[in-house]
Structure 1
Amino acid sequence: MRTKIWMASGAVVVVALGAVLFVGGNDKKSPAATDTSNVKQLVQEYSSSSMKDLSASITSEQLIVTDSNNQSTKYDLPKDEFFVSIAPYVKNTHPCATHSLTGCQGELTEQTFDVYVEDTAGNVIVDQTMKSQSNGFIDLWLPRDKKYNVTIEQDGVKAKAALSTFKSDNTCVTTMQLVESI
């Protein structure tokens, strides 16, 4: 029987007879800042509340996860995509700039919205029906370094906003109030 052993991302990988066994876990102290391969999946897991670390927030450049021992792990976001999370609301909102994937709570949870995003040249980036998550937010990945017009609509009420995806821009948008269309 041939056996090979590798170290991968802080885990020991053993291959024997065509089977792969993972021994150990992801070493939280290993640098993750250059690994963007799974960052979008991690963001989705934290947004949907399926992961239970102490906190996870997202800036224009990094996902920052802090565990119960106050140890932070930072993950670089893709260089060509910008994360923004929008909480459309009717009555209740909160001020926010940097989105907390594990702490921000929007008013309209698990509801369906028509989401339309176009850039300033009129190119349609998003035109689909989307459901807000259990935290009341709609997560979007948009091309970086551009300006956009966003419209969110539900049952005859609408919110419009101009957003941009530059390095200094917010990742949390809580200012889109749904109002009657005129």
Structure 2
Amino acid sequence: MVNRYTDLAKNTPKVTGDNFQTGYDAACHLLKHGHKKIGMIYGVSNVSTTDERIKGYKEALKQYNLSFNESYMELGHATVAGGAAAVKSLLNRHNDISALFVLNDLMTIGAISQIKELFLKIPDDIALIGFGDFASASIVDPPITNIVQPPATIGKTAFDVLLSKIHNPNYNKHIELPPSLIVRKSCGCV
């Protein structure tokens, strides 16, 4: 299985990014900058990528002695329009949210658009960390901080794992590749 997995698939090797670490690193980065009310916009519910990122986010909050608030989470349907609608919904419910972690590029684009429509400034009014690092993330104003998992490395590793499984039917390893945080101005850094 590549990128996502289910525990229902037994005897199946897995290659994923370390999604727990992704959620943890993004939340810790924002927490270190003083943000205590961090919204999370996720694309799909009840999949391993989302579940693990939420677990990492929760662990970071716990380490900062903050409780998890379910209503700081919003489904963005993995689309630009969904990201925009999620920002609007979150900020209507909690206008004191000072930072967002958005779990895919399309939703990040929608989030940026909605934040600007609300006449809010990134990062002055709301800090932002995206996921994936879309092609223009470094040149939009402000440049977007992103968590990145290495898709080419995941793909190559998955191929190697498939070969291992072909040669050894008992091979069932779970390989998690570490994420990288690309720090830019949208989170209040640099």
| TM-score normalised over the length of structure 1 | 0.23
| TM-score normalised over the length of structure 2 | 0.23
Name the structure where helix makes up a greater proportion of residues: 2
- Structure whose CA Rg is larger: 1
Name the structure where strand makes up a greater proportion of residues: 1
